[in-house]
Amino acid sequence: MCVRISSSFTRIHTIPSLSSTPSRLSKHTSTPYSTLLQTPELPHEPQYSSPINAEPLHRYTTGGYHPITLGSLLHQGRYKILHKLGWGGYSTVWAARDEQEGRYVAIKICVSKNYHGNRGHREMNVLKSLDDTQHVVRMLDHFDVEGPNGIHPCLILEMLGPSVSDLVERRFADGRLPGSFAKGVVRQALMGLDALHRREIAHGDFHIRNLAFTISSVANISEDEFINLLGKPDVGYVRYNDSGRLGHGIPEYIVRSAGLHARSWPLSDTIKLVDFGESFPRKDAPKTLHTPLVVRAPEVIFKDRLDYRVDLWSLGCMLFELFVGQPPFDSFLITPKILVEQMQEMAGEALPDRWVPLWESMRGANATEAGGPGLQEWLEEMYFDGERKEDLTRDDIVELGRIIRKLLRFEPGARASVEEILNEPWFEN
């Protein structure tokens, strides 16, 4: 295990668990991104409980999630719900059968638009503008569904396979992709991101959990065979902790998300960008983003003006993680103050003057000087750790560090463009 003495604490770097659910911390695990997402706080005494650990039940309320049961039909009976694929702070995602077109799809059901502005419709409009763009998930249909908790935008998306992080967890015990395979993933991710940035659209949540593999067509298999690929749904009935009746808008049961990475999906070698819930065009930039803190751009932390270049910082973090097997910054017990200190160590440059007053307020009286290694030193120390497989040379890692350094710049305008990174000869070798 590598221990780094940072400017304010002992920094223990571990390989992250690349799953969507928290796992036991060990030498080769740390807190996954999903636990770092900002979601509304839990009530002090939860009213409801379920044996399934999934989306928070208190979010099934006016303005929150839409309750779903397996086998239910949406949009005049066209879409039949078969399984749950996942959930986030602002949506649940379900596998369904499109009875009209005879295909399997993913349905993203957003929280009520009446209480969360235009999040769902903004995502819908972004995906419309990217229709048939290579290496970007396709939106096939969209509609609103009205339920007890409000009116919910629903996005019908092509059915994709596991994410890159799922694949790493399943097939690579040390958490590290082979170098040539990682380069192929990067090239495709860059092509997808370049298509967004040419339209001045930010993804806003760019990391390896939002890169998914396409799958061979499963349209011709039966529902039973499809569900078998996902695994039999595991449900946990919801109960009212005071022995009363379930409230209006609370689901009868919670469904555990399907383990895509644990099944024998007919994968292709094509990668697509997914989850555009944080995406935005330049003319409709939000005040903040909910990107996982460990890959969040510094301008988000310092509440600066945002545009598509937030993705460039996240891209630098993603490159480090894809080739090394862990993010460049700590993911365990990280705070904005600690993260900014580590950012300064990595970037090796001063914060922009306009951020300094807020930074002085953040760090308070216990200010310390940065004392950790810089980007290249840390990159080499982590890659050549003697514990994980090494198939890249030291010259390769020097080149990788040079590329990452062009992205981990505090000033958004100083970062290399996606097109520039895509044209780097190193990714073709």
Among the listed residues 277, 392, 323, 314, the one whose alpha carbon sits nearest the alpha carbon of residue 185 = 323
pLDDT at 334: 87
Instruction: Annotate 192-244 with DSSP letters as a single string.
Output: HHHHHHHTTEE-SS-SGGGEEEEE---TTS-HHHHHHHH----EEE-EETTS-
What are phi and psi for residue 75, nearest 5 degrees? Answer: 60, 65
User: In the prediction, which pLDDT does 232 show?
Assistant: 92
Which tens digits make up the pLDDT trace of 235-286? Answer: 999 998 776 778 889 999 999 999 765 456 677 889 999 999 999 999 999 9
Residues belonging to the binding site are 108
Query: For the chain, which residues score pLDDT lower than 70?
Result: 1-46, 114-118, 243, 260-265, 365-371
Give the pLDDT of residue 262: 43
> Residue 353 has what pLDDT?
97
Binding residues for ATP: 108
How high is the pLDDT of residue 15? 32
183 contacts: CB under 8 Å, gap ≥ 6? 427, 429
Structure tokens that stand for 388 in this block: 């994980």
pLDDT of 241: 77
CB 97 within 8 A of CB 79: yes
Return the pLDDT at 120.
Answer: 80
- The pLDDT score that the predictor gives to residue 114 is 63
Q: How far is the CA of 85 from the CAs of 56, 91, 146, in angstroms?
A: 16, 11, 21
Is the distance from CB of 229 to CB of 263 less than 8 angstroms? yes
* 402: three-class secondary structure by DSSP: helix
Question: DSSP H helical segments within 294-367, as ranges?
Answer: 298-301, 310-324, 336-347, 356-363
Q: What is the pLDDT of residue 372?
A: 75
State residue 173's pLDDT score: 85
Distance, in Å, from the CA atom of 116 to the CA atom of 129, rounded to the nearest integer, reads 22
Cα first-last separation, the chain: 31
pLDDT, position 89: 87
| Residues whose CB falls within 8 Å of the CB of residue 135, separated by 6 or more in sequence, listed in order | 188, 189, 191, 192, 195, 270, 271, 272, 273
Distance CA 265, CA 163 (A): 12
Tokens 């399984």 belong to: 83
The pairing of beta strand 280-281 with beta strand 253-255:
unpaired
pLDDT tens, position by position, 169-180: 888 888 899 999
pLDDT of residue 115: 56
Which residue, 154, 150, 122, is CA-closest to 140? 154
